[in-house]
Amino acid sequence: MADSPKPRGRPRSFHDKTDQNTVQSLDRALGLLEVLAASPGLTLSDLSSKASEAPATVYRALVTLQLHRMVELEEPGQIWHVGSGAFRIGTAFLRRTKVVERARQPMDALMRQTGETANLGVESGDEVLFLSQVETHEAIRAFFPPGTKGPMHVSGIGKALLAWYSPDRVQGIIARQGLPGFTSLSLTSEHALLRDLARTRDRGFAIDDQERATGMRCVAAPVFNAYGEPVAGLSVSGPAFRVGLSDAVRIGVLVRAAADAVTEATGGQRPA
């Protein structure tokens, strides 16, 4: 009798997320890494407080992570930081898709054409995940380092993706994430957001008009895959005193052209 096929990456209990199928110490260590990644550095006591874990438990997890260079200890002050090992593993995500590589030149051109910061992002867990950035040389500028996440409904890239998602997918994201307000210009009603997404589709690019941060505007357009599905977004972000609404329209044409270039370079096609 032939041997039965071996599992190819996951056991039959893959969909069972109960405690018996999770490793609590690993779950705790990854949770600490997430807390640490969201800060510029934390002491042991601060980290244990934020994670609601005993200092001794946190310390054991940190030492284990340190052995794999996932975290590093800055001796003066005993400050823990995310380590080079975490960066190395994190960059493996970027290698999954050629969009990051193919977007680099169009992003650099966008920064030079507009004088503002160019960004690349995707959706991850109902949020925008920024993958890459080409910064302007201006002293006052937008800054979204790789790995930064944010709500989709108040993001240029987020709205550029939502505008081409199916209605069911948009409704699901709204139901799970809600529409919290961040400024007086945030779109906090479903009706207002859907109206804005319709305008985005009509003109081919999205505008975040100070909806996440007062004084900051962003213009974005989607990148499509071979099936005409939005898989990433390119954007240009800058302070409102340099990026007026009239400028946003001009920049939108450039951003859409750059996003279309990335779509073509990655074998995608813009939907009719």
Instruction: Examine residue 191 and state whether it is found in any structural domain, yes or no.
Output: yes
| 215 within a domain of the structure (yes/no) | yes
Task: Judge whether 238 and 254 are in contact, CB under 8 Å.
Answer: no
**Nearest C-alpha neighbor of 119 from the set 108, 98, 127, 23:** 108
> 85 or 65: whose pLDDT is higher?
65
Same domain, 131 and 66: no
Residue 20, pLDDT above cutoff 90: no
Looking at residue 158, what is its pLDDT?
Answer: 98
Q: Of 30, 62, 83, at which residue does a domain stop?
A: 83
In this structure, is residue 32 part of a structural domain?
A: yes
Range(s) of the domain holding residue 259: 95-265
Residue 8 lies in a domain: no
- Give yes or no: residues 29 and 109 share one domain: no
With respect to residue 12, please indicate whether it lies within any of the assigned structural domains: no
Clarify whether residues 74 and 161 are in a common domain: no
Residue 1: inside a domain? no
Q: What's the predicted TM-score (pTM) here? A: 0.70
- Mean pLDDT confidence for 27-48: 90
pLDDT in the model for residue 95? 61
Give the chain's domain count: 2
How many whole angstroms separate alpha carbon 172 and alpha carbon 243?
A: 32
| Model confidence at 98: pLDDT above 90 | no
Res 22 pLDDT > 70: no
Extended strands (E) in 103-242: 117-124, 127-134, 149-151, 206-209, 216-224, 230-239
∠ CA(110), CA(112), CA(118), 5° rounding?
Answer: 40
| Claim to verify: residue 150 and residue 128 sit in the same structural domain | yes
Residue 147: which CATH number? Answer: 3.30.450.40
CATH number of the CATH domain containing 43: 1.10.10.10
In 153-229, beta strands by DSSP E: 206-209, 216-224
Shared domain check, 191 and 106: yes
Judgement on whether residues 42 and 104 belong to the same structural domain of the protein: no
CA-based nearest residue to 203, from 250, 168, 154? 250
Q: Average pLDDT of 184-211?
A: 97
| Residue 105 in tokens | 């030149």
- Average pLDDT over the chain reads 88
Place of tokens 């998602």: 165
Mean pLDDT for the stretch of residues 96-105: 84
Pair 106, 174 in one domain: yes
At 205-216, the pLDDT tens digits run 999 999 999 999
pLDDT at 12 over 60: no
Question: Would you state the pLDDT for residue 13?
Answer: 47
Q: Does 189 fall in a domain?
A: yes
For residue 191, with 0-12 CB atoms within 10 Å meaning exposed, 13-18 middle and 19 or more buried, which class applies? exposed
More confident residue, 158 or 267: 158
* Domain identity same for 162 and 248: yes
- Contact indicator for 72, 83 with CB cutoff of 8 Å: yes
What is the mean predicted confidence (pLDDT) over 32-49? 90
Alpha-carbon dihedral angle through residues 138, 143, 197, 103, given to the nearest 10 degrees = 80
Is residue 88 domain-resident?
no
Q: Given this model, what pLDDT does residue 1 score?
A: 47
pLDDT interval class at 19 (50, 70, 90): low
